[in-house]
Amino acid sequence: MGVQDKPLKNLNQKEWESLCDGCGRCCLIKFEDEDTGKYYYTNIVCEQWDQKTGRCKDYANRQRLVPDCLDLKREKNLSFLPNSCAYRLRSQDKSLPDWHPLISGDRTTVIDAGITIIGKVVSEEYVHRQQFQEHIIEWIEVD
């Protein structure tokens, strides 16, 4: 049984990390409508996300540097993540898409499939908090 087939609770740390496709979508600023529970994503990304590499600048220290940074292992419900997210898919016992690096064997398929946020976002350091809602996007699906 490969990592892509195991339940999340059975993954060791290395396997858990390998599920991340590097898209960066979880690093986007998002809002939850408290009345409906619906999530709205913006095109604003955490200042720690490197827009050239598509990776966190300091992944090991991310929770200390950004207190609001997600720790997906601690989340009980992953329904706020995009429909394309491997963690969400596996939490629902769904298969990974063909473009996922664990399936394709190639990290560039995330780029080829248009899943990455590289080139589509602005760093939060350049947007005033009062303007965040003006940056809500609809190209990320969250059901």
Give the C-alpha separation, 134 to 96, whole Å: 32
> Could you give the CA distance from residue 113 to residue 127 in angstroms, rounded to a whole number?
28
Q: pLDDT at position 140, please?
A: 94
Per-residue pLDDT of the chain (143 residues; tens, 9 = 90+): 788 889 999 999 999 999 999 999 999 999 999 999 999 999 999 999 998 888 899 999 999 999 989 889 888 899 999 999 999 999 999 999 999 999 999 999 999 999 999 999 999 999 999 999 999 999 999 98
pLDDT at 74: 87
**pLDDT reported for residue 2:** 86
pLDDT at 3 (0 to 100): 86
Provide the Cα torsion 102, 104, 107, 112; round to 10°: -140
**Are 10 and 90 contacting, i.e. CB atoms less than 8 angstroms apart?**
no
